[in-house]
Structure 1
Amino acid sequence: MKAFRATFLVALLSCFASAAVADEVLASRLGALLGQERQALAVVPDSRLAALTSVPSAQERGVETQSGVIYDRAFLASQPAADGNSEWECLAEALYFEARGESVRGMFAVGEVILNRVDSQLYPDTLCAVINQGTGRRYACQFTYTCDGLAENIAEPRAWERVGKVARLLVDGVPRALTGGATHYHTKAVNPSWARVYPRTASIGSHYFYRKPTRTASN
């Protein structure tokens, strides 16, 4: 029994010694490899190294920008959590129900239409009034979700967070440069009669955008 224990201890110590040697060999090999990497990097010009390690710009990624706004989700994620008054809430709600499934560019485009209507003399002069125009009258509402008979429940918190940020940026006055002054839009799945006479200004995501013709004194 004593002989067995002695043999076992010798074997165990041998294993530890082998592990220590293996660790030393591994550390030596890693050190050599890192040394080679440092030597290789040393001959790379600083400008080239910076280009290889820097994050591509929005333009390089093919993402459209406008006066500091980058139309992608990474940009929205970098923005602070948004909140605001009832006007902001009305716009955020409209974007949630009308465009939360769109790209960031598509959400901004729908928001532009609503703000363009606020600026037009043909529509009410507040966000909430524009969005709720005709609400309660069947087929007379301007935005379907306000008169479809369904409750406006916010069931997707992350989508609400995104549209809230878009609404905040639009209310704060970012340029509206996506839709050419559009006052109307519809999904590409439908073809309303007015789309045949209103000039189309943009096609973004699942929506077409239009500008209501301006009446002149001669017509």
Structure 2
Amino acid sequence: MRRIALAAVLAVLAGPVLADTPVTRLMDQEMRALRAISGDRMASYLSRPETEIRYSSAWLDQQDTAEGGAQWRCLAEALYFEARGESVKGQFAVAEVIMNRVDDSNYPDTICGVIHQGTGRKYQCQFTYTCDGHADVIAEREAFETVGKVARLMVDGAPRSLTSGATHYHTRSVSPRWARQFPRTASIGVHHFYRQPTRLSSN
């Protein structure tokens, strides 16, 4: 099944160019985005296992305590500092943004790389907690255990169905300049979610 899916994608990518209409221009934009995904990333995307997720505290509480390697830890820490006060659904939504960036050729191809991109320059990083000058202390162990479960599920390939491919988010209390140019894909809890537009080449 996975080989068939990959073959179908490759067939679409290699297909003929259609007449120039608004619909085909949109299709062309999506095709360019697909072509920008490396073979390894595409294979990883197509081979993700389907996991039934229920976005509730009661369901998450029933899941085993999570642990993992460096990538899991990076995601768990990001969720702790960025979204521990959010609902379970809100935490999964923030995790989707990070995982979507991992799959996007505009960003590093590891979870830790995405989260720490720009770290070291105060307020120039991608995730504020990594460059706000405050020590990253995990003081709420129960909250960390909760986000750790979310992180484990996402690293293991849980579906990303909440934010429609979002690569950015911000809290409702701020209005960054980029938010006026990026299409909003969802609003969950205190966050608005956006997808970075595909940049078309000049030729």
CA distance in 2, matches of 1:217, 1:134: 25
Note the aligned Cα RMSD (angstroms): 1.2
Q: What's the TM-score once normalised by structure 1's chain length? A: 0.69
Instruction: Report the AA paired with residue 155 of structure 1.
Output: A
Q: Which amino acid in 1 is paired with 2:131? A: C
Larger Rg: 1
Q: Is the 8 A contact 2:72 2:152 kept in 1?
A: yes
1:187 to 162, 165, 171: 171
- Number of residue pairs aligned between Structure 1 and Structure 2: 154
Deviation at 1:67, TM superposition (A): 4.7
Q: Is 2:184 aligned against 1:200?
A: yes
The amino acid that maps onto 2:86 is E
Name 2:37's counterpart in structure 1. none
2:81 counterpart of 1:114 = no
Show the counterpart of 2:126.
142
**2:95 corresponds to which letter in structure 1?**
G
Q: Which residue of 2 aligns with 1:56?
A: none
Identity over the aligned pairs, expressed in percent? 67
- Write out per-residue CA displacement over residues 2-37 of structure 1, whole angstroms, 9 at most, x where no aligned residue: xxxxxxxxxxxxxxxxxxxxxxxxxxxxxxxxxxxx
Paired letter, 2:168: H
Q: Deviations over 1:170-200 (max 9, x none)?
A: 0000100000000000000000000000000
Q: CA deviation at 1:215?
A: 1.1
Alignment of 1:83-162 (within 5 A): 83-162=67-146
**Secondary structure of residue in 2 paired with 1:185:** strand
Shift of 1:83: 0.1
SS at match of 1:208: strand
Contact 2:51 2:157 in 1 (8 A): no
Code of the residue aligned with 1:102 in structure 2: it is E
**1:163 corresponds to 2:147:** yes
| Structure 1: stretches of 5+ with no match in the other structure | 1-65
- TM-score normalized with structure 2 length: 0.74
Measured after TM superposition, the shift of residue 68 of structure 1 is 1.5
Partners of 1:201 and 1:207 in 2: how far apart? Answer: 11
Alpha-carbon shift at residue 216 of structure 1 (Å): 1.5
CA drift at 1:218? 4.6
Residues 182, 194 of structure 2: 8 Å contact kept: yes
Where is the helix percentage greater, Structure 1 or Structure 2?
1
**Equivalent position amino acid for 1:140 in 2:** Q
How far residue 139 of structure 1 moved from its aligned partner, in angstroms, is 2.2
1:217 Cα deviation (Å)?
A: 2.7
Shift >3 Å, 4+ stretches: none
After superposition, the C-alpha distances for 1:115-151 in whole angstroms (9 at most, x for unaligned) are 0000000000000010000001022100000001111
Counterpart Cα distance in 2 of 1:138 and 1:160:
25
In structure 2, distance between residues paired with 1:104 and 1:137: 31
